[in-house]
Structure 1
Amino acid sequence: MGRLTGGDPSLLRRINSAVVLHALRTAAPSAAPTLTDLVKLTGLSRPTVEGVIEGLMESGLVMEASAEEGAARRQGRPARRFRFRVEAGHLLGIEIGPHRVAALLADLRGRVVGSASLEVSETASADERLERVREAVADLLRRSGVACGSLRAVGVASPGIVEADGTVRLGTALPEWTGLRLGERLRRSFRCPVLVENDANAAAVAEHWKGAATDSDDVVFVLAGLSPGAGSLIGGRLHRGFGGAAGEIGALHLLGREATPEEVLSTTGQPLHPLDEAQVARVFTLAREGDVRAQAAVERFMRRLVHDVAALVLALDPELVVVGGWAAGLDGVLEPLRAELARYCLRPPRVAQSLLGEAAVATGALRLALDHVEEQLFAVESTVTARR
């Protein structure tokens, strides 16, 4: 086991490359920096910056900027300017849900350049559902003019408890999902790193990135539905728990102290069947129209949702609770949640509706892919660890 020192030339090159690349990536597109600019921005010597730039250009991550991308032209020979090639690779974020699959395509800055979605049957097998994923991605890449080989990383968000290697340890929302080696199956199709995460966790990451939680680091995102799930950020970092099962608040009724979702939303005394979004929306509509049984069902649904969320809020003390998922679109969810959390919680959090809507899960999956690429491009910690 070799000893790593501060003078290790390989490590120094990696650090210098990451520093210069970061400066180029964060530069405004209309102000591509010169070598002199990069020396000032990074604090490195000019020969070091020149060497790093040469290596980054050979790798395809950096190129010389055109005159239009630099500052206003002056007399004499213009200084060479450089830019990060956001088009040097692409990222993919995929949502796999009960009723649809969706995909977002982005450049290396995370800017979305295309999207696609396809409906899928709730009863589709795992093979059929994954085939729909491939169809959606193939259509998206074709329309965007992007080759599959250009993908640097793929993020995938799915219901269920997901292990670190992308295996779904437990997934009751989708047929044949429990035990599915989802990451392994998709890596065969993409031939690049595939990161798999729980859908509520991914949505929490998305809202923190560009949604309702951009100004909060302690957040609970509730994916409100028939069986709600939640994702949590603590200090801005995703909290997955020891086995990836943190936030599975929809399982609380399994403790045996409460009715099943089919019984909670029933207006007849018999379990609601089929238990789907259309049926639930109908119950909420009847409640608004004054149906007494429907109003009682909605009250039970809201009480269940509040109890589930309150349990997590009491444990984590978040600053903000963001509510997303299809139930967030039903009238009257947010205000009762605010009022009841005020009753149950010692310090009630702010409650807000998702700003990303149905795009939250796929956007979070895209952020997972972007995080992976950024770690490869800019982090030196992994290099140090690998050499120890």
Structure 2
Amino acid sequence: MTEQVTTGTDVTRMRELNALSIVRALRGGPPSTVTEVAARTGLSRPGTDVIVQGLVADGWLTVVEPDGSSVVGRPARRYRFNAGAGHVVGVDVGVHKVLAMLADLDGTVVRTARLPVDPGADPAARLTVVDAAVDECLAGAGLRPDDVWAITVGVTGPVDAGGRTTLFTPLPGWASVSPAGHLAARFSCPIQVENDCKLAALAERWQGAARDADDIVYVLAGMRCGAGLIIDGALRRGHGGAAGEIGALRAVRWLTAPSHLENCAGLPAGIDTDDAAAWVFNAARAGDKAARTAVRRYTRDLAVGTAALVLTLDPQVVVLGGGFSRSADLILDQLARELGRTCLRVPEIRASTLGDESVALGALRLALDEVDARLFGVSLPAPLAPRA
């Protein structure tokens, strides 16, 4: 029988794993005593105490001092995960606006900056707005670029392996742009670029209408239609990043669906394209026959692509997102009826609860996942920003 020798490396690794276990037990939860942490992790109380003190010294945990309300004995100290040890940034680069969000490691948004951008802006001008929005968030929180641990940028169009929208994008000149390369000149942390619909789907599962679901079809309903897919709890990108881009198939009618609203009889002369849809929905609520017909035809076309995705993926939930989710009262029931005509099983259809913040929130979620993968899945060093 060969005697197994425990090396110093084994002991060090065991301590790292125990530290990871403790941090995971406290992250996102209430302040806890050493005894509570030990019970949650299955570690001994003395061992837990030693590791907790080390994590406090390294900056991963903070001490919550007793409030003195206890009348029997000395109240025990409690410890919480130090979510402020690092921060992540999510950016939504849209046609009309750039929305940047800064969050701590618990995902709590601490700063938001929303800046307008000209729809016809060239890449340099749009990236300047991106920089300004991110800088506004950092300045408001008193942080520097080195305090950011991960960044995710959401863009319109399928994103390839290089972080570019080479297949399609409505942003002028954007197919040749590398948002990650631009931001890497100032930030040394990991930077990801992802499609806006996919990020919105992530956000709805994280904080929105589909928190109870692992199989989700997110449908962007607006003057542009798109989809994001989450299957078995994982975001699906496809081999080249184009998963869910079913609207490219003309027979699906997503490309032409908004024309029903733009060409609605009775629209005021000279009305802006973006305002036309709002006018039609308001008129439909008021009982205008032409407006109700336009909404019905738009929803019917939206249902074609939605049905194809439902039949292919059999999701638990379909989330109606995008700008038209504000008019879910006019769309959801009819969408369900249309799906009932073609689908073997109609999933529950819910309206987005996150509105136009969904893409930036999804970007935060993906950035947090990057932090988790790099730090909490391997080892737990002192809280310094991970490098790309």
- 1:377 and 1:266, CA in 2 relative to 1: closer, same or farther beyond 3 A? closer
- 1:154 and 1:74, CA in 2 relative to 1: closer, same or farther beyond 3 A? farther
- Counterpart CA distance in 2 for 1:354 and 1:322 is 6
Aligned to 2:128: 131
- SS of 1:221's partner is strand
Aligned to 1:64: 63
- 1:274 and 1:199, CA in 2 relative to 1: closer, same or farther beyond 3 A? farther
Aligned to 2:364: 366
User: Aligned-pair distance for 1:79?
Assistant: 5.1
Aligned AA (1:113): V
Q: State how many pairs are aligned.
A: 371
Q: State whether structure 2 residue 96 is matched by structure 1 residue 93.
A: no
- 1:289 and 1:75, CA in 2 relative to 1: closer, same or farther beyond 3 A? closer
| Contact 1:227–1:250 under 8 Å retained in 2 | no
- Counterpart CA distance in 1 for 2:195 and 2:135 is 23
Q: State whether structure 2 residue 23 is matched by structure 1 residue 21.
A: yes
- For normalisation by structure 1, the TM-score amounts to 0.84
Aligned to 2:189: 192
User: Aligned-pair distance for 1:83?
Assistant: 2.6
Query: Where do residues 1-388 of structure 1 align in structure 2 (5 Å cutoff)?
Result: 8-9=10-11, 11-29=13-31, 32-34=32-34, 36-45=35-44, 48-68=47-67, 72=70, 75=73, 81-253=78-250, 260=256, 264-265=260-261, 267=263, 276-284=273-281, 297-330=294-327, 332-380=330-378
User: Aligned-pair distance for 1:10?
Assistant: 5.2
Aligned AA (1:323): L
User: Aligned-pair distance for 1:172?
Assistant: 2.0
- 1:67 and 1:105, CA in 2 relative to 1: closer, same or farther beyond 3 A? same
Superposition RMSD in Å:
3.3
- Counterpart CA distance in 1 for 2:380 and 2:356 is 34
Aligned AA (1:332): L
- For normalisation by structure 2, the TM-score amounts to 0.84
User: Aligned-pair distance for 1:104?
Assistant: 1.7
| Contact 2:17–2:379 under 8 Å retained in 1 | no
Aligned AA (2:240): G
User: Aligned-pair distance for 1:163?
Assistant: 2.5
User: Aligned-pair distance for 1:322?
Assistant: 0.7
- Counterpart CA distance in 1 for 2:79 and 2:316 is 42
% same residue? 43
- 1:292 and 1:360, CA in 2 relative to 1: closer, same or farther beyond 3 A? same
- Counterpart CA distance in 2 for 1:356 and 1:89 is 25
| Contact 1:93–1:154 under 8 Å retained in 2 | yes
User: Aligned-pair distance for 1:295?
Assistant: 5.7
The gaps in structure 1 that reach 5 residues or longer are 384-388
- Counterpart CA distance in 1 for 2:270 and 2:176 is 27
Q: State which drifts further: 143-152 or 106-115.
A: 143-152
User: Aligned-pair distance for 1:85?
Assistant: 1.1
| Contact 2:264–2:294 under 8 Å retained in 1 | no
Q: Deviations over 1:17-51 (max 9, x none)?
A: 2101112324413xx322x4433332234564355
Aligned to 1:386: none
The gaps in structure 2 that reach 5 residues or longer are 1-5, 382-388
Aligned AA (1:16): N
Aligned AA (2:263): T
